[in-house]
Amino acid sequence: MIRALLARLQQKHRTVGFPKTEPMLPPDFLGRPELFPQRCSADCRRCIEVCPTSAVQKKDAVTLDMGRCLFCGRCAEECPSGAIRFSRDYRLAATAKADLLLKGEEYKRAETLGKELKRLFGRSLKLRQVSAGGCNACEADTNVLTTVVFDLSRFGIQFVASPRHADGLLITGPVPENMKLALEKTYQAVPAPKLVIAVGSCAISGGPFAGHPEVHNGADGIVPVDLYIPGCPPHPITILDGLLRLLGRID
């Protein structure tokens, strides 16, 4: 016991200060894409051609769908005019899927739950995590939120083993056909009212598997989604920021 206490004193306080303080992000972190349509040349399509998920499109002007984006950065690297670049803004979550489509305008971040749902879930939210065919990247960045570094439980948010003990689902993966029934049954087992959170490009749009006949292109074709958190995978701080915005814990 004494050795454990001495080790704890040596380690000191290890929990990040977010959201009271800005997070320390890795040097190569790619955050919210920024578009500058006025810089886009009329005949250039290089950013579209290199995008592995067709997240970048161009009609009258260039657009970028963060729900499809893998945050590989290739579009920004290939763009000769700098019409696309990736910022270090980790605040990516959105309430509506349509808000993930960037057009060069101000980004609309996730909104807080309605008054009644905030009263129910604002101080205590239990989530059942469902890995619907994920590669384990989004799952890993979700699981790390329970460690001492992020300490998700200090906000009253916890993961539970049974959907019957949950207030909602946190879904990762593109939802292949073999997981469709399991996801439907898990959703039905959660008592109402309930929330659904889609984490990662696969859970939002199918990611690199979109369009495959065995994939349902994300969760919202199976269950209603209340919060979208894009990324491949999203940084743990991005996930935490989205959850806290949904609950009205940060502006």
Domains for the chain: give ranges and CATH numbers: 115-246 (3.40.50.12280)
| Per-residue pLDDT at 43 | 78
Residue 37 CB contacts under 8 Å (≥ 6 apart), including other chains: 61, 62, 83, 103, 104
pLDDT tens-place values along the chain, 251 residues long: 788 777 667 766 679 999 999 999 999 999 999 999 888 877 788 999 999 999 999 887 889 999 999 999 999 999 988 899 999 999 999 999 999 999 987 899 999 999 999 999 999 999 999 999 999 999 999 999 999 999 999 999 999 999 999 999 999 999 999 999 999 999 999 999 999 999 999 999 999 999 999 999 999 999 999 999 999 999 999 999 999 999 999 87
20: which 2 tokens? 């009271």
| Per-residue pLDDT at 238 | 98
Query: In angstroms, what CA-CA distances link 74 with 4, 53, 137?
Result: 47, 12, 20
Which residues on neighbouring strands pair with residue 128, listed in sequence order?
169
Distance CA 62, CA 37 (A): 6
237 three-state secondary structure: helix
2: which 2 tokens? 């004494």
Distance CA 207, CA 217 (A): 7
Distance CA 166, CA 150 (A): 21
Distance CA 104, CA 90 (A): 17
| Per-residue pLDDT at 60 | 79
| Per-residue pLDDT at 23 | 95
